[in-house]
Structure 1
Amino acid sequence: EARINDLECQVAFQEQTIEDLNSALSQQQLQITKMQDQMKYVVGKVKNMDSSNMENPANEPPPPHY
C-alpha cells in the first residue's frame, strides 16, 4: 500500500513538472518568434540603409590631438 502511494505521488509530481515545462516551452517559443520578427526587421533596415549617407573615414578631419 505504501509503495502504491509513493508511486501515485511520483506520478502526480511528474505530471506537474510536465505541465510546468510545457508552459515554459510555450513562452520560450513565443519569445523566439518575436525575436525572429525583430531580427528580420533590423536586417531589412540595415539592408535598406543608403551607403551614401555614410561618409568615408578618409574624408574626415584628423582628431584634435594630431
Structure 2
Amino acid sequence: MPGLAGGTQVPADVEQRLVELETRLAFQEQAMVELSEALAEARLERARSDALLQAVLADLRGLRGALYADPGSEPPPPHY
C-alpha cells in the first residue's frame, strides 16, 4: 500500500474511494467548463436575437408609418 507522510499506510478501500472521488471531481470540472461555454454561447445567441428583433421592430414601425399616414392628411372615405 502507498504511504502518507510520516510512514502512515492508507487502507486500500480508502485509497480506492479517494481515486473515485478524484475521478468524479475531474468529470465535474469538465462538465462545468462545458456548461460555462454553452452558457456563454447562449448569451451571445440571445444578444444576436435581441438585435435582430429590434431591427425587425424598427422596420415594422417604419412600414406602419408609411402605410398608415396621418389620418388628417388623407381624404375621407367614399361613403362620406
Relative to the length of structure 2, the TM-score reads 0.63
The code of the aligned residue for 2:59 comes to: K
Q: Which runs of 5+ in 2 are unaligned?
A: 1-14, 69-80
User: Structure 1 residue runs of 4+, over 3 Å off?
Assistant: none
Larger of the two Rg values belongs to structure: 2
Counterpart for residue 48 of structure 1? 62
Q: Shift of the alpha carbon at 1:48?
A: 0.8
| Displacement of 1:37 | 0.2
State how far apart, in whole Å, the 2-side matches of 1:7 and 1:35 are. 41
What is the deviation of 1:17? Answer: 0.1
Q: RMSD of aligned C-alpha atoms?
A: 1.3
Under a length normalisation based on structure 1, what TM-score does the superposition of the two structures give?
A: 0.76
Choose the corresponding residue for 1:3, options 17, 20, 26.
17
Per chain length, whose mean CA-contact separation is higher, i.e. which structure has more relative contact order (CA < 8 Å, sep 6+)?
2
